[in-house]
Amino acid sequence: MTEKQPKFRSPPFPYVGLGKALAKAEQLYGAVRHHAAAIPTAAKAWETGPKSSATLQSAGALIQYGLLEDEGSGASRKVKLTPLALKIIMDKRPGSPDRAAALKEAALSPKTFAELFSQYGTAYDIDDFLLIHALTAERVQQGKAPYSEDSAKEVLRVYRETIEVAGLVDFDKVSDEGGASSAPSTSAPSTVNAAVGDYVQWVSDGVVQFPEPRRVRAVSDDGEWAFVEGSETGIAMQDLEIVQAPRSNRPPPTLALPEDDPTVYDRADARDKDRMKVVWEGPLIHISATVDKAGLERLRKKLDAMETLLSDD
């Protein structure tokens, strides 16, 4: 008789990234504000069924990010937004360092995400095979419950989405308590006057906020705020640093065109095979041309036309 293999269950992790979790937190805030709500009330805010798996997954994801707390069980179970969630939702100040810190705390609240960030940072430049091995085989060696290969791939997808939303970068490290602490920048951001088209980096309290520099698309009339591509929220000009455009995004160089000379009768263009220039100087004509055999015939016709013009004059 063949012995049955035990069923495998991967450790829990948020099924959605931090961005979608925050959207659900805001939906709940719009329905009940800071009050506790029964599961059917939360499900209504999320437009899901009170007993559906989507409702349970949503609540579970918010709990793992530290955005939601629950009490009770069964029909008496209630959920409530945490102070961390309220700090993120209610802080509308552009470039708020408090909100930025709260986003980082939420992003690294899931234990697996904190471990990944501590060891691999953003993991954008690390081969997926290495990360999947860390979430599967290495966890077994460490005495931890491993993820299945499919679950590990999903963990990485959600993790990278979350890291981007939180604005975390590689030099951020995880403290012993599990929270995020940021290494200070080598130079403090200076007040700049960024113009439309400039590439900038947003630096708040020494922490770089953008994974990649962004281009300024508008500046407020008073010059105090800049608006960058991909965001509708203004950023204080004093928190911006003008940086070199990413190589892939650099516009081609430009060179000013020579001003038109009103004395030039004919000028070659891209469609003209004859490189010819004629300059009138009173009764004299200065001609320079480089032509082939066919162009010589065209030059004769142009000279005939010029002779007629001189005769008319």
Confidence of residue 310 (pLDDT cuts 50, 70, 90): low
The yes-or-no verdict on residue 185 having pLDDT over 70 is: no
The yes-or-no verdict on residue 190 having pLDDT over 60 is: no
Considering only 54-58, 103-107, 157-161, 205-209, which range has the smallest mean pLDDT? 205-209
pLDDT of residue 264: 46
**Predicted TM-score of the model (pTM):** 0.55
pLDDT tens digit string along 193-236?
Answer: 888 888 888 876 666 777 778 888 888 888 888 888 877 778 88
**Burial letters 265-302, b for 16+ CB under 10 A, else e:** bbeeeeeeebebbbebeeeeeeeebeeeeebeebeeeb
pLDDT tens digit string along 276-302?
Answer: 776 766 667 777 777 777 778 877 877
pLDDT of residue 192: 65
Residue among 227, 231, 195, 201 at smallest CA distance from 214: 201
Confidence of residue 4 (pLDDT cuts 50, 70, 90): low
109 contact partners, CB below 8 Å, separation of at least 6: 64, 65, 66
pLDDT tens digit string along 136-170?
Answer: 999 999 888 999 999 999 999 999 999 989 988 64
Report the half-sphere exposure of 100 (CA within 13 A, side-chain side): 21
The yes-or-no verdict on residue 188 having pLDDT over 70 is: no
User: Does 32 or 196 have the greater pLDDT score?
Assistant: 32
What's the average model confidence in pLDDT over 262-269? Answer: 45
pLDDT of residue 255: 54
Confidence of residue 178 (pLDDT cuts 50, 70, 90): very low
Dihedral, CA of residue 234, residue 236, residue 240 and residue 242, to nearest 10: 70
The yes-or-no verdict on residue 266 having pLDDT over 50 is: no
Confidence of residue 265 (pLDDT cuts 50, 70, 90): very low
What's the average model confidence in pLDDT over 71-81? Answer: 89
- The mean pLDDT of the chain is 79
